Amino acid sequence: MKLKFHSFSSRLTRRIIIALVLTMTFITALIFKLVTSAMAGLNEMYYQSVLDFTDETLEKVLTAVEVSAANNVDEVESWLSQPDKVYDAMESELKLNPHIIGFALAFEPNYYPQEGYWFEPYVVQRNSKTIERLQIGSAEHDYFKSSWYSIALKAEDGYWSNPYFDDAGAKMMVCSYMLPIHDHKGKTVGVFIADVSLNWLKEQIDEIDEKNNDRRKEILSYFKKPFDSYSFIIGRNGDYIVHPDRKRILNENFFAYANATPTPLDEELGKDMLAGKNGKKLIDIEKTVSYVFYSPLKRTGWSMGIVVPKAAVLQPGFVLGAIILAVMGLGLLAIFLVCRFTIHFATKPLTYLSDSANEVAKGNFDTPLPSIKYNDEIHQLRDSFRKMQQSLAKYVERLKTSTAQNASMESELNIARGIQMEMLPKTYPPYPERKDIDIYGSLTPARAVGGDLYDFHIHDERLFFCIGDVSGKGVPASLVMAVISAQFRTLSANEDQPQRIVKAMNTTMVGRNDSMMFATLFVGVINLKTGELRYCNAGHDSPVIVSEQSYELLPVDTNVPIGIVPDWTYTQQQTTIQSGSTIFLYTDGLTEAEEKDQILFGEKRMLETIEAGKTSDPETIINNMTNAIRLYVGDAEQSDDLTMLAIRYNKPA
Whether 538 and 568 have beta carbons less than 8 Å apart is answered as: no
Burial of 604 (C-beta count, 10 Å sphere; 0-12/13-18/19+): exposed
CA 169 to CA 195: how far, in whole Å? 10
Q: Give start and end residues of each alpha helix (H) in 138-293.
A: 147-154, 199-219, 254-259, 265-274
CA 159 to CA 101: how far, in whole Å? 17
Whether 151 and 143 have beta carbons less than 8 Å apart is answered as: no
CA 514 to CA 14: how far, in whole Å? 66
Count, in order, helices (H) and strands (E) of the chain: 14, 22
The conformational region for residue 461 under phi > 0 = left, psi -120 to 50 = alpha, else beta, is: left
Q: Count CB neighbours of 82 within 10 A.
A: 11
Q: Which residue has the higher pLDDT, 81 or 387?
A: 81
Q: Is a pLDDT exceeding 80 seen at residue 12?
A: no
CA 321 to CA 28: how far, in whole Å? 8
CA 32 to CA 39: how far, in whole Å? 10
CA 499 to CA 368: how far, in whole Å? 78
Tens digit of each residue's pLDDT (9 = 90 or more) over 392-436: 656 656 666 666 665 556 555 555 555 666 667 766 678 888 889
Tens digit of each residue's pLDDT (9 = 90 or more) over 290-299: 888 888 887 7
As a whole number, the mean pLDDT across the chain is: 82
Whether 498 and 535 have beta carbons less than 8 Å apart is answered as: yes
State the pLDDT at residue 359. Answer: 67
Q: Is a pLDDT exceeding 90 seen at residue 55?
A: no
State the pLDDT at residue 414. Answer: 57
Q: Which residues pair with 371 in a beta bridge?
A: none
User: Mapping DSSP to helix (H, G, I), strand (E, B) and coil, where does residue 475 land?
Assistant: helix
Q: Which residue has the higher pLDDT, 636 or 419?
A: 636
Tens digit of each residue's pLDDT (9 = 90 or more) over 136-164: 888 888 888 888 888 888 888 888 888 88
CA 479 to CA 415: how far, in whole Å? 14
Q: Is a pLDDT exceeding 70 seen at residue 363?
A: no
pLDDT band at 240 (very low <50, low <70, confident <90, very high): confident
Q: Which residues pair with 107 in a beta bridge?
A: 190
Q: Which helix (H) or strand (E) holds 131?
A: strand 131-135
CA 637 to CA 25: how far, in whole Å? 41
Phi first, then psi: what are they for 538, rounded to 5°? -115, 75
Whether 372 and 349 have beta carbons less than 8 Å apart is answered as: yes
Whether 101 and 170 have beta carbons less than 8 Å apart is answered as: yes
CA 568 to CA 571: how far, in whole Å? 10
Q: Is a pLDDT exceeding 50 seen at residue 224?
A: no
Instruction: Choose among 468, 474, 442, 475: nearest CA to 453.
Output: 468
Q: Which helix (H) or strand (E) holds 602?
A: helix 602-613
Determine the Cα angle at 262 with ends 236 and 43, to 5°. Answer: 60
State the pLDDT at residue 348. Answer: 67
State the pLDDT at residue 395. Answer: 64
CA 527 to CA 511: how far, in whole Å? 32
Strands 532-538 and 519-527: antiparallel
Tens digit of each residue's pLDDT (9 = 90 or more) over 563-596: 999 889 999 999 999 999 999 999 998 999 998 8
Whether 81 and 324 have beta carbons less than 8 Å apart is answered as: no
CA 375 to CA 302: how far, in whole Å? 79
Tens digit of each residue's pLDDT (9 = 90 or more) over 382-401: 677 677 766 765 665 666 66
DSSP at 551: E
Mean pLDDT of the region 209-213: 74
Q: Count CB neighbours of 275 within 10 A.
A: 9
CA–centroid distance for 633 within its chain? 25
Mean pLDDT of the region 187-203: 85
pLDDT band at 551 (very low <50, low <70, confident <90, very high): very high
CA 589 to CA 310: how far, in whole Å? 62
Mean pLDDT of the region 524-530: 95
Mean pLDDT of the region 550-562: 93
